[in-house]
Amino acid sequence: MKTLFESSVREEIINRINSLTSENNAQWGTMNVSQMLKHCTLCDDMFFGKINIKRVFIGRLIGPMLLKKALQDDRGFGKNSPTSPLLKTNNEVCDLAVQKKEWTLSIEQFADFNNNNFVHPFFGPMNKEQIGLFAYKHADHHLRQFGA
């Protein structure tokens, strides 16, 4: 399975990010391409510990089980999965070029990842291997959402 801790995978994701234009339309969901880029940068900020989101109760009950299922194979995430309100950008106007650059820089930071105490707001504590797999699947999910 692919992980953002591999340089070739980071390069693949960055190439896909750079292929996006304002002409890319969502195949599902309500975000435009710039908002998706901002959302993904915010999610990476969460992985790096720059944003802390409180655990949700239901996640404490079933999160670890669903994380194991989500990471068991190469299948992508389902469409229209819920996200934390702190990671939503539906009402923001975002500059495409700026957002592409910010997310690209964020992806590059996975080369030096060191947030070993990361706790996902739904899935709970995640080890480094799980973070790399999950971060790749999240990025791939949204790039597929916009045909990249």
Cα separation, 120 vs 103, whole angstroms: 20
Cα separation, 3 vs 110, whole angstroms: 10
Alpha-carbon dihedral angle through residues 136, 21, 23, 141, given to the nearest 10 degrees: 0
Residue whose structure tokens are 């709970």: 124
Instruction: Tell me the pLDDT tens digit for each residue of 98-143.
Output: 999 999 999 999 999 999 899 999 999 999 999 999 999 999 999 9
Across 54-67, average pLDDT: 93
Q: Could you tell me the pTM of the whole model? A: 0.93
Is residue 82 over pLDDT 90? Answer: no
Burial zone of 91 (CB within 10 Å; 0-12 exposed, 13-18 middle, 19+ buried): exposed
Give helix 57-70 / helix 128-145 axis angle, nearest 10°: 80
Q: What is the mean pLDDT of the chain?
A: 93
